[in-house]
Structure 1
């Protein structure tokens, strides 16, 4: 069986066409399948529409959150409910093309444990504000994570269920599932897929989340070597303090070298030391808070989401 999981947040206008396309593709593939939509507390009637569609489509399962918990939590809930040997994740805004799913599944059947989509011709109309920053982010993530992928942010991915069943997902960690599988000895492939500009609504994700994504990746590397969101707060402030401290230190040295101003006559060295110490402390606090949060969830078998209703599950 193939389980297709898709998060939903204010996609009422896109859902009818998306579900229709998805059903057609899965039926053409043959074999058993299920569709699992996870509504992340939409405010535009998306859940009501999904409920109505599920009444006429038994293969469509629906999970509704009580509050907005984010894309990672939505995918985690869908993956936890999936019964298939293969799990496919896809966005419900029609930017991902369901017609690419058979190619991803075909690669899994060749022995890969995860296949990640690589969106083609994306942000060609916004080279400086979106395309270049996106490439820089993917380059940094590839270097830190050790798995070179062109498009970590693409939701269209396919996995062997046994490889993702035990992966804990918090924060923005859903995009790092292929890296996590790779670190555990799995085989990961990347496949070029179509990218389609959305017809309705606006993108819910911006470049502003880049720093949180990189911090999450650093956290996973730390946890997997010996183990959600606190790092986003402490880490963000800590990084800012480190940057300010470094800048103050460079400035004070420049004043000494080029202007022959004694370091004891300027507060910059003290400020540099202060901000550097505070920055390191905040980063350490962020990691410790993250470990405590992970212990809280896993020792008590809690989840980072709260389900209000299930349909056909």
Structure 2
């Protein structure tokens, strides 16, 4: 199969017929084989009924329905599991991503040999201060910490080589950092393409201001995981050792001073006593945290299980 188009959605029943018709028109005009996987993330409107109707009319359209709302990362992860295309393209369901970008994204994967191509909505229709400034700060921080030179990490329109999406696991809120996850998995050729950003035609955005706070928290998480996810003891053990040694040196200094001048002071009256004891305790706690983290990292097979109510054509 040439293409898999994965569309995560939540309460987008109005836009789905137009979006799927547009996708089908673009792909069939190029003569490619394809599938469209619509992942209903626990919608409360008529989205699933629309998906069922669309699937009856077009066998290339398939559906996954979550029992409740898990979030975009969960929807993408399940879509990746179900995809069969040599090139996989993700896009949002709100018609702000243009299916006309599909041919060029496919070409960049197959001919330019990119592992992943991320869209860049250089000119936006929602370019407000509350979105623009936090987004620029977020992307700058992501570039600096990951070393990946992308202008828009969070763009939903992306293209992947099949091997990439079968090699990564997207969970929590990590959909913003799929390029980082791909690089972490060993896929180094990551490109960017300027894509059209269209004004929202139906409904309202499902994302609030809290996504920026979550974005920075997830950035800290993915940075730590990418460096120490398989060896957490290297992080906790290092700082635990340094902290314990600091406390130990303070304690030895106090004991030697007390032995040399036993009548001059009481140990518990010296600030260094509390500094040393606190540092040794914190150092031990960091060591224990490292051991626990090592155990968790080796025994977490259930962190990405979701209840799927129905599937269509899969």
- TM-score, normalised by the number of residues in structure 1: 0.76
Q: What does residue range 146-157 of structure 1 map to in structure 2 within 5 Å?
A: 146-157=147-158
Question: CA shift at 1:200, angstroms?
Answer: 0.9
Question: What's the counterpart of residue 43 of structure 1?
Answer: 44
CA contact (8 A) 2:164 2:187 kept: no
Question: What's the counterpart of residue 164 of structure 1?
Answer: 165
CA distance in 2, matches of 1:295, 1:175: 25
Question: Which of these residues, 188, 197, 221, is aligned with residue 219 of structure 1?
Answer: 221
Question: What's the counterpart of residue 16 of structure 2?
Answer: 15
SS of the equivalent of 2:26 reads helix
Question: What's the counterpart of residue 180 of structure 2?
Answer: 179
Change (3 A) 1:293 1:12: farther
CA contact (8 A) 2:42 2:68 kept: yes
Give the superposed CA RMSD: 2.8
Change (3 A) 1:129 1:294: farther
CA distance in 2, matches of 1:105, 1:85: 10
1:193-215 Cα shifts (integer Å, max 9, x gaps): 00011111111113321222222
Change (3 A) 1:223 1:124: closer
Question: Which of these residues, 208, 211, 221, is aligned with residue 209 of structure 1?
Answer: 211
Aligned pairs, how many? 259
1:8-67 Cα shifts (integer Å, max 9, x gaps): 100011111111111111112222111100001111110011011101111001000001
Which one has a bigger Cα radius of gyration?
2
1:103-144 Cα shifts (integer Å, max 9, x gaps): 111111111100000013215652x22112211111111111
SS of the equivalent of 1:83 reads coil
Question: What's the counterpart of residue 59 of structure 2?
Answer: 58
CA distance in 2, matches of 1:310, 1:225: 36
Question: CA shift at 1:226, angstroms?
Answer: 3.9
CA distance in 1, matches of 2:171, 2:161: 20
Return 5+ residue gaps in structure 2 as ranges.
Answer: 230-277
CA contact (8 A) 1:170 1:304 kept: no
1:70-117 Cα shifts (integer Å, max 9, x gaps): 000001001100011111100010000010111111111111100000
Return 5+ residue gaps in structure 1 as ranges.
Answer: 228-273
CA distance in 1, matches of 2:221, 2:298: 11
Question: What's the counterpart of residue 246 of structure 1?
Answer: none
SS of the equivalent of 2:194 reads strand
Question: Post-superposition, which runs of at least 4 consecutive aligned residues in structure 1 deviate over 4 A?
Answer: 288-291
Establish whether residue 75 from structure 1 lines up as the match of residue 109 from structure 2.
no
CA distance in 1, matches of 2:151, 2:298: 29
- TM-score, normalised by the number of residues in structure 2: 0.75
Change (3 A) 1:51 1:217: same
Question: Which of these residues, 106, 116, 122, is aligned with residue 120 of structure 1?
Answer: 122
